[in-house]
């Protein structure tokens, strides 16, 4: 018999060899074209890299292992989402007001996950070293997965609640969503090193806990097990992303001393941009969760002041100091959430989620958490609005607000040392005036005015006639917000009506 | 170059006065009245008399505030683009040097917001 001989068994590769073959050895020096033509974005930002192989990859993850881990997580997540849907999990949330936090997340954050996917795919192509390229490519896939799992998880709520039907479209058009959108577009249109400093370091490393912990703990506290599960599913990815964030900073700083001032300027810029973006989270924590986790003030102390101190102490040996204006952010921690919630209360006629006045019990919580500011400055505002509401005249601000050219948030913030006076900063560039909410936003503009003179400011776009028409109803329709359904106060909304009916049924059919 | 870029990078400002159909955007801010969460942005014709804005436009923006009807306009203190300013009520905005994207902040004596809390 001529039985076929089995091929000789090859020696199994050691982990180290596998890692080398599947990551570092995927790169090569080009011969048909010069390297700088193949990697045209590697040097223009002024960052000097002498040895790309000095890049450390603490996870040493290879693509085959990556697929295996992710597939396992995916199976678990979809099992939970299915059971949540089959058991009508939405009935177990604390209150329908909670869903408004999800509306904010789906329209404001999930599209950023998708933008991050695109951003990492782009920079993953443009780094010269194979180490950072592979790390960026894996993160690009993670981010796409996060966008997908968030959409899938929240699609269950879309069957019952309003405002969740067109998040992608809204992200590109709705006035308050220009804040997260412009944040990410600023990063994606920067060079690869600035992009990683912006997203991997400043956002994923320094500020991420202030975004994900509040939303995921908020979900857990308010009975939303579906959202908690995608949070868990993303958590191990986030750990990898944070490591990439710290690694890129250390890599740049160790490669050349000339990189230090460039990196410092990016840290300053992206700390401030990220902090301004988190204003939405501050409001969510203090006002939108029916059952609260902790106050914004407490979260800022724990996740930025304490954790940030340790981080920047560690980086000081490279000549890096704390981000500029961190002290302004700390001064604002007693007022941020109140100023932002008041803004959305002003303009709920143009939002895809509902707002409401805090109840007396909620105001007690706010007084206790903000003893220096709440009763003195913000309670009177709410009481005044309550009185108007009781007269059947719920307050809506009828005029469009002035916006900051950099962060695109309405000019609502107050002077760092005086919470009763609005903070105005301005500059002139090529004979034209530009306005800012803070020194942080003004500095960012003044360093690269050519970039920000292009800001797509929703208020000015409405006036220029680019947003579907001149009337509120026209603009709302152009946003794909259903007038009288998705917008206006929670009181009297279809969401509230439906929720109240469910509660009534539940109490009349005790199980 | 004013930007870090791989090539020439020049753009016209997106909010250039030419884009507003002959009007100007002017920002107004009633100090000590933070019920209105931010300064307001109005698109106005440059020839509109200053007094007409106060008499015909601002009531639609601020009129629901109980203190608005008590404002004595001749006593109001103004700042135009960070400089003290005395408006000529009969003259148009342009003649008052109120330009595109000018900021007008005004303080109303005796009226400091509701509840002692600049509401």
Mean pLDDT of A422-437: 98
Mean pLDDT of B46-73: 98
| pLDDT > 70 in chain A, percent | 99
Interface membership of B7 toward A (CB under 8 Å): no
Q: How far off is chain A from B72, nearest CA to CA, in Å?
A: 21
Q: What is the pLDDT of residue A511?
A: 61
Digit-coded pLDDT (tens) for A13-31? 888 888 888 888 888 899 9
Mean pLDDT is lowest, of A21-35, A315-329, B75-89, for A21-35
Mean pLDDT of A238-267: 94
Beta-carbon separation of A41 and B61 below 8 A:
no
Q: What is the mean pLDDT of chain A?
A: 95
Note whether residue A274 is domain-resident. Answer: yes
- The whole-angstrom separation of Cα A42 and Cα A36 is 8
Backbone φ/ψ region at B5: left (φ over 0), alpha (ψ -120 to 50), beta: beta
- The whole-angstrom separation of Cα A421 and Cα A60 is 52
**Residue given tokens 């903000």 in the structure block:** A370
Note whether residue A61 is domain-resident. Answer: yes
**Residue given tokens 């916006």 in the structure block:** A403
Per-residue confidence band for A212, with pLDDT thresholds at 50, 70 and 90: confident
Chain B residues closer than 8 Å to A443 by CB: none
Beta-carbon separation of A397 and B100 below 8 A:
no
Per-residue confidence band for B3, with pLDDT thresholds at 50, 70 and 90: confident
In terms of CA atoms, which chain B residue is nearest residue A458? B15
- pLDDT over 60 (residue A293): yes
Per-residue confidence band for A510, with pLDDT thresholds at 50, 70 and 90: low
Chain A residues closer than 8 Å to B81 by CB: 426, 433
Which residues fall within 8 angstroms of residue A365, CB to CB, at 6 or more apart?
A292
Note whether residue A23 is domain-resident. Answer: no
How many CA atoms within 13 Å lie on the side-chain side of B92? 10
Which residues constitute the domain of residue A102? 36-353+474-508
Note whether residue A224 is domain-resident. Answer: yes
Q: What is the CATH number of the domain that holds A173?
A: 1.10.620.20
- The whole-angstrom separation of Cα A216 and Cα A211 is 9
Which residues fall within 8 angstroms of residue B108, CB to CB, at 6 or more apart?
B30, B31, B32, B67, B71, B72, B75, B76
Number of domains in chain A: 1
Digit-coded pLDDT (tens) for A110-123? 999 999 999 999 99
Between positions 84 and 103 of B, the ones with CB within 8 A of A are 99-103
Digit-coded pLDDT (tens) for B15-54? 999 999 999 999 999 999 999 999 999 999 999 999 999 9
Q: What is the pLDDT of residue A23?
A: 86
Record the tokens describing residue A74, joined without a space: 């995916």
- pLDDT over 70 (residue A276): yes
| A203 φ, ψ (degrees, to nearest 5) | -85, -60
Instruction: Find out whether B30 and B112 touch, Cβ atoms under 8 Å.
Output: no
Which of A378, A399, A421 has its CB closest to that of B40?
A399
Q: What is the pLDDT of residue A1?
A: 56
Which residues fall within 8 angstroms of residue A370, CB to CB, at 6 or more apart?
A295, A297, A334, A338, A378
- pLDDT over 80 (residue A199): yes
ipTM of the complex: 0.98
């Amino acid at each position: 018999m001529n039985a076929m001989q089995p091929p000789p068994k090859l020696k199994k590769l050691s982990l180290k060899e596998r890692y080398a073959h599947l990551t570092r050895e995927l790169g090569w020096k080009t011969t048909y074209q010069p390297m700088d033509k193949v990697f045209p974005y590697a040097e223009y930002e002024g960052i000097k890299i002498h040895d790309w192989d000095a890049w450390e990859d603490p996870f040493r993850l290879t693509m085959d292992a990556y697929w295996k881990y992710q597939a396992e997580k995916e199976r678990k997540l979809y099992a939970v989402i299915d059971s949540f849907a089959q058991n009508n999990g939405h009935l177990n949330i604390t209150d329908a007001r909670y869903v408004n936090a999800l509306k904010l997340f789906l329209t404001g954050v999930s599209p950023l996950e998708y933008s991050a996917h695109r951003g990492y795919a782009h920079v993953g192509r443009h780094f010269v070293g194979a180490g950072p390229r592979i790390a960026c490519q894996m993160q690009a896939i993670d981010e796409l997965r996060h966008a997908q799992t968030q959409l899938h998880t929240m699609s269950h709520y879309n069957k019952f609640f309003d405002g969740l039907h067109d998040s992608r479209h809204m992200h590109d058009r709705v006035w308050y969503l220009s804040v997260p959108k412009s944040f990410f577009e600023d990063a994606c249109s920067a060079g690869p090193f600035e992009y990683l400093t912006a997203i991997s370091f400043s956002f994923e490393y320094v500020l991420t806990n202030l975004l994900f912990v509040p939303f995921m703990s908020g979900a857990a506290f308010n009975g939303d097990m579906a959202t908690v599960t995608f949070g868990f599913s993303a958590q191990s990815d986030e750990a990898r992303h944070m490591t990439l964030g710290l690694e890129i900073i250390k890599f740049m700083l160790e490669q050349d001393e000339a990189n230090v001032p460039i990196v410092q300027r990016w840290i300053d810029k992206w700390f401030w941009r990220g902090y301004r973006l988190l204003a939405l989270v501050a409001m969510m924590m203090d006002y939108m969760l029916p059952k609260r986790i902790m106050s914004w003030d407490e979260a800022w102390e724990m996740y930025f002041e304490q954790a940030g101190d340790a981080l920047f102490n560690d980086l000081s040996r490279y000549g890096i100091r704390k981000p500029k204006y961190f002290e302004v952010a700390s001064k604002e921690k007693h007022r941020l959430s109140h100023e932002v919630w008041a803004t959305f209360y002003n303009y709920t006629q143009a939002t895809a989620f509902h707002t409401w006045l805090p109840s007396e019990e909620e105001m007690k919580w706010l007084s206790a958490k903000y003893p220096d500011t709440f009763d003195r400055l913000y309670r009177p505002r709410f009481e005044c609005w309550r009185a108007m509401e009781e007269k059947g005249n719920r307050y809506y601000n009828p005029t469009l607000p002035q916006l900051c050219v950099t962060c695109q948030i309405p000019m609502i913030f107050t002077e760092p040392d005086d919470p009763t006076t609005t903070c105005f900063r301005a500059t002139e560039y090529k004979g034209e005036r530009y306005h800012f909410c803070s020194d942080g936003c003004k500095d960012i503009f003044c360093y690269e005015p050519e970039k920000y003179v292009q800001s797509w400011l929703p208020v000015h776009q409405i006036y220029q006639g680019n947003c579907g028409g001149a009337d509120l109803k026209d603009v709302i329709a152009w946003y794909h917000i259903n007038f009288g359904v998705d917008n206006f106060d929670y009181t009297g909304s279809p969401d509230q009506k439906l929720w109240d009916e469910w509660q009534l049924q539940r109490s009349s059919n005790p199980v | 170059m004013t930007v870090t870029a791989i090539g020439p990078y020049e753009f016209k400002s997106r909010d250039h006065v030419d884009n507003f159909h002959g009007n100007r955007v002017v920002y107004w801010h009633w100090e000590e009245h933070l019920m209105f969460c931010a300064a307001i942005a109005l698109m106005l014709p440059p020839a509109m008399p200053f007094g007409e804005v106060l008499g015909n436009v601002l009531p639609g923006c601020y009129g629901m505030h109980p203190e608005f009807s008590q404002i004595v306009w001749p006593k109001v203190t103004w700042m135009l683009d960070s400089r003290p300013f005395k408006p000529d009520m009969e003259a148009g905005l342009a003649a008052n040097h109120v330009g595109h994207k000018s900021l007008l902040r005004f303080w109303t004596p005796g009226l400091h917001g509701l509840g002692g809390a600049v509401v």
